[in-house]
Amino acid sequence: MTVLERLRPDHAPALLAFERENRAYFGASIPDRGDDYFAGFDAQHAELLADQAAGLLHFHILTDGHGVVLGRVNLVDVADGSAELGYRIGERAAGRGLATSGVRMVCGLAVADYGLTTLRARTTVDNAGSRVVLARTGFVEAGTITLAGRPGLRFTRDLTDKDR
């Protein structure tokens, strides 16, 4: 059973283990977080939780129901009823529809709990899996960009009461 949970202080050890375990896997399709991310993880985790408490972002983890992190679905740059969506699913859980279900759940929270009306997302052109998730969850292409020197796409999604 997969569970979506809002990020909490006690998630830190499992989240760090997830990021370490999947570092090379993620690095194949998105820019690496860098060594500083891992070295300063505890301080960064505390900062994220403070920003979350201030309503600047909303971080979530997908777990197996027993505390093992399978993925993340986050909303950042929250302002004026809008936020940027980001997500990553670990290698062991990839291909099972978790990104799609996690994004759908966060869209519901975005409307019901966070008062958002629009979400934005972006991905590299060559990240077919991410593009499929965005299409399945109602995002529409909104232009081209460059991400870490690679061709990318921007997406948007208007949220409605039906997302609750």
- Pairing state between β 82-89 and 118-124: parallel
In one letter, which amino acid is 32?
A: D
Sign of dihedral through CA atoms 37, 41, 43, 45? positive
The predicted structure's pLDDT at residue 149: 87
CA dihedral 7, 12, 16, 17 (to 10 degrees): -100
What's 86's domain CATH number? 3.40.630.30
Using 50, 70 and 90 to split pLDDT, how confident is the model at 138? very high
Comparing C-alpha atoms, which of 13, 123, 138 is closest to residue 67? Answer: 13
Q: Looking at the 3D structure of the chain, how many domains does it have?
A: 1
Q: Are 19 and 36 in contact (CB under 8 A)?
A: no
CA dihedral 97, 116, 52, 48 (to 10 degrees): 60
pLDDT digits (tens, 9 = 90+) for 80-122: 999 999 999 999 999 999 999 999 999 999 999 999 999 999 9
pTM here is 0.92
Using 50, 70 and 90 to split pLDDT, how confident is the model at 148? confident
Across the chain, what does the average pLDDT equal?
93
Q: Please compute the mean of the pLDDT values over residues 5-23 and round it to a whole number.
A: 95
Using 50, 70 and 90 to split pLDDT, how confident is the model at 26? confident
pLDDT digits (tens, 9 = 90+) for 65-76: 998 999 999 999
Show the domain range for 58: 3-163
